[in-house]
Structure 1
Amino acid sequence: MSQPAGRLVSDDPAGFTPHALDGSVYSVVQVGSTMVAGGSFSQVRNNNSNTVLTRNRLMAFDASTGAISTAFNPAPNGTVNVVLPAGDGTVYVGGSFTSIAGQSVRNLARIRVSDGSLVTTFNGGSPTGVVKDLALLNGRLWVAGTFTHIRGQARPALATLNAATGAFDAYFNRTIAGVHLEGSFTNVMKIDHGGGRLTAVGNFDTLDGVRNHQLFVLDVSGPSATPANFQTDFFTAACARAFDTYMRDVDYAPDGSFFVVSTTGAYRGYGTNIACDTASRFETTSTGTAIAPSWVDYTGGDTSYAVEVTDTAVYIGGHQRWWNNPYAGDRIGPGAVSRPGIAALNPSTAYRSAGTRRAPGGSASSIS
């Protein structure tokens, strides 16, 4: 979501958006004057209306008025995890489904925003597992998830396709293997790119046989994707065993100079390599092994699901009650700031909010 340069968004930037009445919304993007939302919902309604509309897993609405589109209703038969604008009035849709827009399509499709119809010139290659995330870079569509094959090619967890046609692209040809939690399945949960790099987070242990536990960085500035000279041990420690991976999201700054990772995992204290229920910043230009984050901020035991880095703030969304809360688990501790659901963190460590206390190793401060 864009914002005016040098300004924070307001606490209530839009009060007219429609309501999903069941399930969850996992992805929201803007295409021109239209917003497209994907998730696990099946019923929605316009704001200030009692009329319930059926919109299975996808809906579109006007960005200015919030009115739900009557023309857009692709109705995939399974969960939508990610919607990504293609730049031409269409969107890529990834998730766990076998039909969309009345056509037999598996897990990855391209849909027209104007009328919800399928773009038949694009073939997503029927990934053999759930698509978790998508990214567009230099004419390639990056596909991340729990699949083992795509377009009939063995590409566990991450692959590249031609963005226009969906044809297999061998630009990414590395081996992702291993897991964080024994007995689970290798996957890439989220990806983002900036500054000639692409960062992936998820349930894996190695990249090309080298340990890059739950996070690896690729150099995507050349003729093929290669492992960047970047390795961190910050995400090697165990969190709650309820999660195959405690990684939840990653996002680069608009200028590509750094990225921020959000996690779940339950409270495990604070300090070196304690990454549970945190947000952490890493510099894109950092090189070497055992790279430490520039700062870490703690919720005190609550999950942060999504991160969006802008020019002025790091926006974090989740079920957290507090930030700047490294000293207490499931309760407010010294220096903690109440930010239920969403917060804006200062991108750097230079700013300190009044009354906050710096956590060991550096902590981002809440600024809204």
Structure 2
Amino acid sequence: MEQPDVVSDNPANNTPVLVDTDPVDTTALHVDAIAQADGTLYAGGLFDAVANSPANGGQQFDRDNVVALDADTQELRRAFAPVVDGNVWAIEATANAVYIGGAFSTVNGVSTPALAKLNPLTGAVDPLFDAGFNGGRIEEIKLVDGRLIVAGKNARKLMALDPDTGRDTRYIDLGISDPVPNTRGGVTIFDFAVNPAGTQLIATGNFLTVAGEPRSKFFVADLGANEATLNDWYYEPLAERCATDNPRRVANLQGVDYSPDGTHFAVTATGQIVETASDRNRTVCDAVGYFDLADDTTPEWINYTGGDSVWSTAVTGAAVYAQGHFSWLDNTRGFASKCPEADLAICDARKGVGAIDPETGMALPWDPNKPARLGGKDFLATTEGLWIGSDSRRINGEERYGLAFMPLL
């Protein structure tokens, strides 16, 4: 979504907050997916109660891992209250339907593993929609040219379903296979984005092969009239290892987003920054990388955190937003989450979220300071501003547990 300027660093006051209902359970609550349609904002994640802001009455409501609110007033939609028995990781919304994906088995007591289609007003399950999944996990959903594209750890990992029935159209059949060595969880798509024209897709995940070709952790696919095909674009250093041996971090590439004109994209990464100086500005590890789709030999830039994960990104033209559990941007020589003393004048302190100039690759002054436990997994840029979903309790010193809205001024 193109925006004319960087959003405010002062969060809107009316946003509802997640509520801790168990004082013994120390699990962080979080919002991991955000979508908007027809004046309603939908948010999914891991939570069981949400409270309106004081301006909207302050009432607390039971909400099981998905919630709806008025996108303008930010007051909760009381009629929308589906009961989802697991983490919601993905949402796509239209005026007529809300699709949710994640690691759940039932919605409203109805068996609908990993993917469900809901009534956008009541949250009732559509009984005519059945993807036939037996389990697994859906990480991302997008409706593109009449096809519901879903990705995760299910069946063929990236599929195009009929949005009415859930039937696999076989439009996408890319043979995504072979997990990265020394990883856990098996072959999975972590995230994907579709260009504004709806003609191309980029994806990250835990895989080595796509359509019989080597494509470690990342690929580009063209969305043709009748089928999706693998694109030749691939930046070879994406296949290289970062410094970590942690099986959860070896498949390091995470969130992706296209520029508003579709010519560039951003990709975020975990993996622990490499210590070898020759690999800096070459490998995307604990960093945000920005690439030109006309050139697969050299990144436009890579902005390093100095040793902390970056999970998600949103590219608006005015900025490349990024969030994770980092403390720094512009930290090329940092390691183990520190900025070297010699670089303190260069490193920019950014807690949990930041904005990068798409032209220079350097941090913009925007700094709302958002302490995080693991870090945020989703943004949604709109014509009004930027929604941020995360596990953070506060942003810019104000309580916004799980969800914040940063308006355009």
Task: Specify whether residues 253 and 164 from structure 1 end up closer, same or farther in structure 2 by C-alpha distance, changes over 3 A only.
Answer: farther
User: Which residue identity does 2:179 align to in structure 1?
Assistant: V
SS of 1:75 mapped into structure 2? coil
Match of 2:264 among 248, 258, 261: 258
Shift in Å, 1:58: 0.7
Match of 1:24 among 24, 30, 34: 30
Counterpart-to-counterpart distance in 1, 2:52 and 2:319: 30
Aligned partners of 1:237 and 1:275 also within 8 Å: no
Aligned partners of 1:346 and 1:367 also within 8 Å: no
Structure 1 gaps, min length 5: 150-154, 350-362
The residue aligned with 2:188 is 187
Match of 1:302 among 305, 308, 311: 308
Match of 1:70 among 50, 53, 78: 78
Counterpart-to-counterpart distance in 2, 1:226 and 1:127: 27
Counterpart-to-counterpart distance in 2, 1:160 and 1:127: 17
Counterpart-to-counterpart distance in 2, 1:311 and 1:136: 23
User: Which residue identity does 1:241 align to in structure 2?
Assistant: D
Aligned partners of 1:323 and 1:366 also within 8 Å: no
Aligned length: 342
User: Which residue identity does 1:181 align to in structure 2?
Assistant: P
Shift in Å, 1:80: 0.5
The residue aligned with 1:360 is none
The residue aligned with 2:377 is none
SS of 1:249 mapped into structure 2? strand
SS of 2:128 mapped into structure 1? coil
The residue aligned with 1:105 is 112
Match of 1:345 among 344, 351, 356: 356
Counterpart-to-counterpart distance in 2, 1:223 and 1:105: 29
The residue aligned with 1:320 is 326
Could you state the TM-score of these two structures normalised by the residue count of structure 2? 0.79
Q: Deviations over 1:92-148 (max 9, x none)?
A: 10011111134221111111221111223322332541111112211111111112x
Could you state the TM-score of these two structures normalised by the residue count of structure 1? 0.87
Shift in Å, 1:56: 1.0
- Which runs of structure 2 are paired with 1:205-224 in the superposition (5 Å)? 205-224=208-227
User: Which residue identity does 1:101 align to in structure 2?
Assistant: N
Shift in Å, 1:69: 2.0
The alignment's C-alpha RMSD in Å is 2.0
User: Which residue identity does 1:60 align to in structure 2?
Assistant: A
The residue aligned with 2:230 is 227
User: Which residue identity does 1:179 align to in structure 2?
Assistant: P
Shift in Å, 1:236: 2.0
Structure 2 gaps, min length 5: 21-28, 367-409
Percent of aligned pairs with the same residue?
A: 30
Match of 1:274 among 262, 278, 283: 283
Per mean C-alpha deviation after superposition, the further-off stretch among 52-61 and 118-127 is: 118-127
SS of 1:234 mapped into structure 2? helix
SS of 2:74 mapped into structure 1? coil
Counterpart-to-counterpart distance in 2, 1:166 and 1:345: 38
Query: Which consecutive aligned stretches of 4+ in structure 1 deviate over 3 angstroms post-superposition?
Result: 49-52
Match of 1:115 among 122, 145, 162: 122
Counterpart-to-counterpart distance in 2, 1:224 and 1:81: 26
Q: Deviations over 1:327-360 (max 9, x none)?
A: 11222342111221211111123xxxxxxxxxxx
Shift in Å, 1:9: 0.7
Counterpart-to-counterpart distance in 2, 1:197 and 1:286: 16
